[in-house]
Structure 1
Amino acid sequence: MRNFYKRWQGELKRAFTGTPDATPDWVLRLADGDDNGYYLPGSAVWAVHGSMSTIVAGIRALLMQTLHPGALAGVNDHSRFRADPLGRLAGTIRWVFTVSYGSTAAAHSASDWVTRLHQHVHGEYMDRSGRSRRYAANDPELLLWVHITFTDAFLSAHKLWGGRIPGGPDAYVSEWARAGLLMGVESPPMTEKDMRQQLERWYDDGELVADERVKEAVSFIRNPPLHPLLRPGYHLLFAAAVMSLEPKYRKLLGLKTPTLGPLPLPIKAATRAALVLVRIALGRVSPSEKAARKRLRRIAGLNMRR
């Protein structure tokens, strides 16, 4: 049993960092830098991004993002997510944690790197009316869509499986707006209500599409090529992400909450238990947060000696 746990723990770490044991160099470098960064201990961002609910949030964000045909076309045409889904996941985690825990210079550097990658992501897609339209990953509208679906997913999952958010949901939305600005988002929402209203605009205007390409993407997200040890847990987390969606988006995606006959399965409680196990396996405090705290202590010590 101990060997099984060690193997499972190793594969879990590999899925998130690319390695089963060593801490990635980019995480260690979060201890570098000469300022506090954009977020500090006690911030809403540290509370939400330090929670295991982010795992469910990541799946929910991917599901929502498939609904915008421009965003999905960019992923299908240019992303390596099918050939190397864990590599793409690790890249996204690196950006999120660098902005959340790194110095301001590190946050800008990581965001600039992603923006440069996006410069080559452009092409055409068919909108809901059948017209051909051009897309570009750095287009303000697509950047806003990705930012809002990310923010909405992380906030919604944290409400279900996380703890208290300092300052409440509006604090998280307004704080993470800085990350949107770093990526080129124009006027990101600053309150939960504003964020929801902008999501509603895309839905009401008929911008969101559920076609065969969406079905293919959802099928892949449901069954990615994970190590066999991780698949049972992932299927539970996928069900949790589906459960967390608003019913109209769930219907648009062609997804349903799992049931046993007429009775809904206890997905929320089972997910809470699963996330506790993941927390034990990965550690109570993430290596990224530890590195950030190391930088903050060093800076505080320098300021005291001045």
Structure 2
Amino acid sequence: MTDIQAGDPGLFGPSSVTWQMHGDPMMWVAGVRALYLQALHPRAVRGVMQNSTAFNRQKSGRNDAWGRLMRTANFVGTITYGTTEAAERAGARVRKIHTMLSATDPDTGERYGVDEPELLLWVHCAEIDSYLQVARRSGFPLTDAQADRYIGEQRAGARLVGLDPDVVPANQEEMAAYFEKVRPELAVGPEAREVDDFLLRPPTHPLLVPAREVLWRRVARLAYAALPPYAHELYGRPAPKPDTVTLQLRATGNLLRCIPARLRWQLPPKHILRAMSRLGPGSRPAPYKLGR
């Protein structure tokens, strides 16, 4: 490792909102919410389903869905806590893969690339909104100004996947306007049903089915409950009242945050621990640093 890499803070750095927030354990719940939300865009989810068997219950490749989820988590961890070079390499890989993939509209026969800007923008906004909403509702301390700053910071990640940062929402107001604009395009088609089915009943070893029912299904239900009301209407399943969901999110957040961070960060691929080794112990993510 060169001296530059050794002290390289990466795309965001320890003073960013992103650095502090992405180390929170509720990001896993937020990631599941993002999948539920992303599946509501028919063209976007079709691009996933036609190029991957991960979420298709009729195909053996569905067993790779866990691998797909972990690769997504690894990408987020790399661009958040990795060096600038590592983040750029990760982005280049994603862009290259996207250029080779396309999907077909079954109704019109139209063939389109999965890297269409409007599709990339939907995936980005659904992900960032999910991270932000779950974090705040679960008790992660963010002011409105810090929430705006987080959304603005994430334009750097949007650039890596091929978006022009200038067209990506830069604050909460712009994000809300984007969702209002795109809502008429959202629907629950067969592809979204497949994703929904996977999230409720992911494949697992028979001996682990009881654990899936007790643990995973609670995570999936909480992530679903955290969706906006229009998403519940589209999926056709009710959710608890928003205040009840917020209480559930806060209780879950309090519970998960009781697990020592050092223990949580030991899980592969240890992005945060490697970043702290590179930048020093003062780079440790912590919510209280946002108040400085």
Q: Number of paired residues?
A: 261
Task: Give structure 1 stretches of 5+ with no counterpart.
Answer: 1-27, 301-306
Q: Hey, what does 2:173 align to over in structure 1?
A: 193
- 2:190 is aligned with 1:207: no
| Residue in structure 1 matched with residue 29 of structure 2 by the alignment | 56
Q: Is the 8 A contact 2:51 2:103 kept in 1?
A: no
Kept in 2, the 8 Å contact 1:48–1:162? The answer is: no
Aligned residue in 1 for 2:13: 40
Matches of 1:59 and 1:137 in 2, distance apart? 21
Note the C-alpha offset of 1:118. Answer: 1.4
Q: Deviations over 1:76-128 (max 9, x none)?
A: 111242231111011101110010001111000011111112122202124xx
SS across alignment from 1:84:
helix
Q: Could you tell me which residue of structure 2 aligns to residue 165 of structure 1?
A: 142
SS at match of 1:56: helix
1:18-74 deviation digits (Å, cap 9, x = unpaired): xxxxxxxxxx9xx95562211122311012211111111111110011111111111
Number of the residue aligned with 1:180: 158
Q: CA deviation at 1:285?
A: 4.5
Match of 1:234 in 2: 216
TM-score, structure 2 normalization: 0.80
| Alignment CA distance shift 1:264-1:77 (3 Å) | closer
User: Residues 34, 271 of structure 1: CA spacing in aligned structure 2 closer, same or farther, 3 A cutoff?
Assistant: closer
Q: What is the CA RMSD across the aligned residues, in angstroms? A: 2.8
1: CA distance between counterparts of 2:188 and 2:142?
33
Correspondence 1:1-306 to 2 at 5 A:
35-81=8-54, 82-126=62-106, 130-165=107-142, 167-186=145-164, 187-203=167-183, 206-226=184-204, 227-228=208-209, 229-257=211-239, 267-272=248-253, 274-276=255-257, 279-280=259-260, 283=263, 285=265, 287-297=270-280
Q: Percent identity?
A: 30
TM-score, length-normalised on structure 1?
0.77
Q: SS at the partner of 1:168?
A: helix
**Residue 284 of structure 1: CA displacement?**
5.1
Partners in 1 of 2:113 and 2:219 — Cα distance?
31
Do the aligned residues in 2 keep the contact of 1:47 with 1:165 (CA within 8 Å)?
no
Listed as ranges, the gaps of 5+ residues in structure 2 are 55-61, 284-292
Q: Do the aligned residues in 2 keep the contact of 1:161 with 1:272 (CA within 8 Å)?
A: yes
Q: How far 1:274 moved relative to its partner?
A: 4.8
Residues 273/80 of structure 1: CA separation in 2 closer, same or farther (3 Å cut): farther
Note the alpha carbon deviations across 1:190-215, whole angstroms, 9 max, x for none: 11110111111111xx2112123322
- Per-residue CA deviations over 1:167-199 (Å, capped at 9, x if unaligned) read 511011000110001111122111111011111
Report the CA distance between 1:258 and its aligned residue: 5.6
